[in-house]
Amino acid sequence: MSAFRIGFGYDVHQLKEGEEFWLGGIVIPHSKGAVGHSDADVLIHVICDALLGAANLRDIGYHFSDQDPQYKGIDSKILLKEVMALLNKEGYQIGNLDVTICLQQPKINPHIPAMKACLAEVMNIEANKLSLKATTTERLGFVGREEGVSAYCVALIHP
C-alpha cells in the first residue's frame, strides 16, 4: 500500500425555488435549494468522491446508486459516515481535504465555521484537516445564472 494517496471529487446540482439547501451537512437559508436523489448536499458528495477515489474504491454512485430507493432523500452525512467506514476498513485515514464550492448566491463565507464543525464531527477528524472555500463564477455559466451549484475536492489519505 502506498504511503500517501490523492483523490479528486467534482459534483454539481441544479438549484430550484422552494427546496431546502443542504450544504456541508447544514441547511443554508436561501430561496433555492439543490435538487437530487438524496438531500443533494454537493459539498458532502465531492468529499465522498475524493475519498473513495483516493482509496481506489470507485465513486459515490457505485456505493449509493440514485436508482436505489433506500437512498431517496437520505441525509448525506449518513453516506459520508459510510465512506469513512470503508476508508477505515481499508486502513486509511485522512491527511487533509481541500474543498471549493462554486455558488453565486447566497454567500457561503458566514456558514463555513458551522459546516467545518459539522463535517469534522461526522468524519471524526480535526477541523484543521478540512479547508472549505467558496467562490462565485462572476455571473458566468450555470453557477453564475444561479441555476446550479458545483464543488471540487482534493483529498489526501494515508495508512
106 cis-preceded (ω within 30 degrees of 0): yes
**pLDDT value of position 2:** 59
Q: Is 31 annotated as a binding residue?
A: no
Whether the model pTM is above 0.85: yes
Nearest 5 degrees, angle CA 37-CA 93-CA 129? 80
Number of structural domains found in the chain: 1
Q: What is the CATH number of the domain that holds 22?
A: 3.30.1330.50
Q: Is 158 annotated as a binding residue?
A: no
**pLDDT value of position 8:** 98
Q: Which three cell numbers stand for residue 111?
A: 456558514
Whole-angstrom Cα distance, residue 4 to residue 10?
Answer: 21
Whole-angstrom Cα distance, residue 124 to residue 69?
Answer: 28
Q: Is 30 annotated as a binding residue?
A: no
Tell me the pLDDT of the chain (159 aa) as tens digits. 558 999 999 999 999 999 999 999 999 999 999 999 999 999 999 999 999 999 999 999 999 988 998 999 999 999 999 999 999 999 999 999 999 999 999 999 999 999 999 999 999 999 999 999 999 999 999 999 999 999 999 999 999
Which residues span the domain enclosing 11?
5-158
**pLDDT value of position 26:** 98
Local structure of 154: helix, strand or coil = strand
Q: Is 147 annotated as a binding residue?
A: no
Angle separating helix axes 76-89 and 112-123, nearest 10 degrees: 40
Q: Is 111 annotated as a binding residue?
A: no
